[in-house]
Structure 1
């Protein structure tokens, strides 16, 4: 079991944190080679073993942002407190800038939309019409909307830049542990989940600004398991709007059987809804084999989601909304 945990931490450090969070890369690869810490992790149930949860729990408990050798001493001395926090908290990334990579698809849907997000946390990605955007394309800078939160995004095709904000007629989320955007402590935890490093510093301020917008008029979020609640919540959406079921970095927390059940549930909702339904997905490569089979062999998906519409890849979307690339799929 420690070999499996070591592989998870090594992959987190070398694949995900590399080039974007040097400190987390050092912590993760350090743990991957540390038999003592791996044995401590092995005693935990699955979810609290996650690198991001352990690292955020350590920072919540007051850990220094030191190199691995020094940080490891602190971690060993404060292990019980870190485990207590990791067991009580969940890993939730609620990055509002992901709306910049959702908007090209949402804006292309004619008429009003009904947004249903699974794994919604504080609901910040349910508010694409309440933010402003700045797209940098080969033809220059394109600005859209007027709001205190401006989401920047580099886009590789000027034709893919959205021309309007979506007309949102209805919105709702589903989450096992919904977050109240007006709860300062809860928002502080979301901010702690953001990795340290220059590539991420701006995300903290953006998160807090978006949470302030959401707190004024928060979107409804149903506390439930997405596999159980999706049909009922979808049935409550208005039939005169296109229902968009969407998610970002959610399915990676499900096992293979649960992922298959989710795909089948979405198909059942689409068959039963009686109106237009779009399934918009931002997930990592390796999540669904039928999606991976459609990808070009030489495509680089590091730090990117594969964005799909109704199960067909259409773009690569930056993990945290900063990039949107359609070039790999234009010639298909």
Structure 2
């Protein structure tokens, strides 16, 4: 028996809490992992609170990512003792996830943890950091270089935004950090942001085209925020869009695309092909300042995850929320 956050559904509604489960209850898979660390992400918070129909079957263990050590294996790419990380693949939505002491998954979903990245750091990076790197790689593929001009990052004090700011600054980009919490200005400057912009500038529907400001953008908000970002891109600017914290709708026009040749690139971290995953994690290991990660992380015990989830959705969380699961692993 081991501890896991379990979401159940009944006629009276959905409830979540820490429960005891058995290894035999875990879903099918060819790799059993002893989980060392997991995290609380935006999607996990939606699942735990029931604020959005993220969970596809019940009962469900949330946790869209985890880092741990292979305990049992019948997959050719791994052996017991290997350190691995998982992001996405419907884990925590359709398949039991990482907010548990053990997880059984398909080996094709796992990535070997690069040398020099600890299990804790793997989750300080987590799906947020991996997604941020996919965004940076997309900007690069589309010609946004350090000398191209300023790059704007929305939701900059959150997990994706914080690591995106760090990555862009480390490669020499000038970064404009957008946040709804101007009290986080010093934090964002410490991550490398060169300017801080109040999110209030982006929350009202604006003109189809505004003053040209940015060569690149990483957007986690969607909605009106993304529409205003698109309207302010420079000629041939590139926007990597990876989130919907500000809404699913996109009240924009074709003007940025046909008059300024702006490129809008969609970023999906859930089903991203394995070669890109491996490349992203290798670059994170090489380019991310691991020492800075400590300044943007908070540890929350497994038993406190359910009470933390609503705070996450209310925007009361900075950076990354780490969940120590079994510190004896690895």
Greater percentage in strand: 2
Relative contact order (C-alpha < 8 Å, sep 6+): which is higher?
2
- TM-score, normalized by the shorter chain, greater than 0.5: no
Greater percentage in helix: 1
Q: TM-score, normalised by structure 1?
A: 0.29
Q: TM-score, normalised by structure 2?
A: 0.29
